[in-house]
Structure formats: C-alpha cells, structure tokens
Amino acid sequence: MGKIKQVAVVGGTHGNEFSGIYLLKKWQRKPELLHRPGLSIDTVFANPKGFEENKRYLDCDLNRQFTLADLANNELTNYEQSRAKVINAQLGPKGNAKSDFIIDLHNTTSNMGPTLILLKSDDFNKKMGAYVLAKMPEAVVVFEDQVSMEEHYFLASIADQGVIVEIGPQSQSVIRQDVLDWMENMTQAILDFVELYNSDNLPELPSSYDAYSYVESIKLPMDENGERIGMVHKNVQDNDFKPLTKGDPIFTLFDGGEITYQGDYEAYPHFINEAAYYDNNLAMSLGKKITVSLD
C-alpha cells in the first residue's frame, strides 16, 4: 500500500455515543491536537440528527450502510441511508476513496475497555495493533477481517484502510471521563502510528501479541413469539474477553433455568449485553483468541 496522506476521524456515527462527539468538538476548537507531519486530517460528525434526538439512529443503523451494493442502491433513501451516501461522497467513494484511512469512534455499554477493532490483517493493521498495545497495555485488539472491505458494511470501510475505536463501558447518552480519556489516547496513538509507519520510523515492536478474532454473534433466548425469555448470566456479565468453555452458564431464564455454552471452541465473548444490540436480540459476540505474528 502507498503512504497514508488523507485521514478522516469520524465521531457520532451513533448519535447517543457521546465520547467521539465531544472529542470532535474539542479537536475542532484545537485542531493542532490532531496535527501530524505528512497527514491531512479531517473530522466528520456522521449522524448529527441522531445526536440532536439523543438516539443511536433515526431510521436504521448508520454503521451498517456501507457495503458497495447498498451505497449504489438509490432505493435506499431514509435518513441514515442518505447520510451514508453523502459521507461516501465526502470521504470516498468506496473503491476509489479520497481518504486513505478512517478512524471511526464508538462507545459500547459493554465492559470492553479500550478496544481497537481492525478490519484487515495486513502488515499495517497487525503493526498498528502491536503499537497501540505497547502504548496502552490495557487495550484489546479485535480483528473483524472475516469479509473483504468491499463487503464490510462499516463506515470505516469506505477507505482502503479503516479502524473502529470502541470504548466502554459507557451508558448511552453519557460522558464518562475514563472512557473519554481512553478514546483520546487511543486515537492519538493511532495517528502517531500512521506517521511512524509512513516514515518507516516505527519503534521496535514485539514479534507477536495476543488478540481476538470475531467468530459469531449469539442471540438472547426467545420464545416462539420472539419475546425474550432470558438474560445474560451474571457470571458472563461484564466479563468481556474472559473465556467461555462448553458447559459454562451463559444465559439465565426468567423462569429460573439456565442455558449453558455448547460451542466446540473456547469462546471469548465481547459486546456482552450491549444495549444497542437488543434491537436485534443479540446477546454478545464471540471470538477466538489468536496470536498475531509480526514478520
């Protein structure tokens, strides 16, 4: 890949995830905080109407609208589908994008700490993970590289390189200082990394590190009418990135019963009991632990 020149830092893709929105305000007042030699950095407030109405979205989840097919589909006309096309014109177009790199800032209600979600596992992303972990030992790196950038529906996939900064736990529509600080530190570390990667000046990085790779999302227990009949088990709640093995309780039913994990792999749950995922009755994501090698 060529050098990264044009960078977009995006906040407020979900209108009730406040950290990115307030960081954008700060950086718009003090743009020098984002300056890096060789980089041109824009900030984008993706869903201002969502923020105004204090909701994740008005019509549909903006961060699911960025497949090439949907961007090209002019029948998709609601607010977020329209915003997706406008943002794609502004930062993209996807496949031939003006932006070389996008950082999209998110919050989760789950106890994920400062998580860096990488959409590719090439040299650039693998080294970014190592660099961010070196600067923030409390951080976690998750690869969601199961599909190509073209097929990814995330905003950050408009550019050839894009990452999601995902920090929690934070209730929707709140600003927590610890979460804000983590998001600011991770964003700054990523920009430092890009500058150092561009100029081939990276510090020595470990030869390998632990990370997680997304496998699947699992649903809350429901009855035949689609009504929820259970909740995340208290042993799992808040234990993002702690392993689940076959037979571990995973859900508690409202009638008192339990459901155990029956997968055939050691699963690392994350996005556990994320409020926004109730729309689709998702209980959590499961990943595998991986070792990332830097050659």
Nearer to a second copy, 75 or 224 (CB): 224
> What's the min distance (Å) between Cβ of 16 and a second copy?
9
Tell me how far apart the 2 most distant CA atoms of the chain are, in Å. Answer: 60
> What's the min distance (Å) between Cβ of 55 and a second copy?
8
Our CA angle for 105, 281, 66, nearest 5°, is 40
Nearer to a second copy, 227 or 264 (CB): 227
Our CA angle for 273, 275, 281, nearest 5°, is 70
> What's the min distance (Å) between Cβ of 19 and a second copy?
10
Q: Look at residues 291, 245, 249, 242 and name the one whose alpha carbon lies nearest to residue 266.
A: 245
Nearer to a second copy, 255 or 264 (CB): 255
Nearer to a second copy, 31 or 278 (CB): 278
Beta strand pairing status for 101-107 and 140-143?
A: unpaired
Helix, strand, or coil (residue 291): strand
> What's the min distance (Å) between Cβ of 190 and a second copy?
21
> What's the min distance (Å) between Cβ of 281 and a second copy?
12
> What's the min distance (Å) between Cβ of 127 and a second copy?
31
Neighbours of 201 (CB within 10 A): 8
Nearer to a second copy, 110 or 213 (CB): 110
Query: Applying CB under 8 A, which residues contact a second copy?
Result: 22, 25-26, 54, 109, 169, 171-178, 180-181, 228, 231-234, 237, 252, 254-255, 273, 275, 278
- Tokens linked to 73: 């589909």
> What's the min distance (Å) between Cβ of 218 and a second copy?
16
Nearer to a second copy, 18 or 154 (CB): 18
Neighbours of 61 (CB within 10 A): 16
> What's the min distance (Å) between Cβ of 14 and a second copy?
13
Helix, strand, or coil (residue 278): helix
Helical pair 18-29 and 177-198, crossing angle rounded to 10 deg: 60
Helix, strand, or coil (residue 24): helix
Q: Please list, residue by residue across 260-291, b when 16 or more beta carbons sit within 10 angstroms of its beta carbon and e when fewer do.
A: ebeeeeebbbbbbbbebbeeeebbbbbbeebe
Backbone dihedral angles phi then psi of residue 38, each to the nearest 5 degrees: 85, -5
Nearer to a second copy, 87 or 272 (CB): 272
Nearer to a second copy, 29 or 96 (CB): 29
Measured between alpha carbons, how far is 108 from 63 in angstroms, rounded to an integer?
14
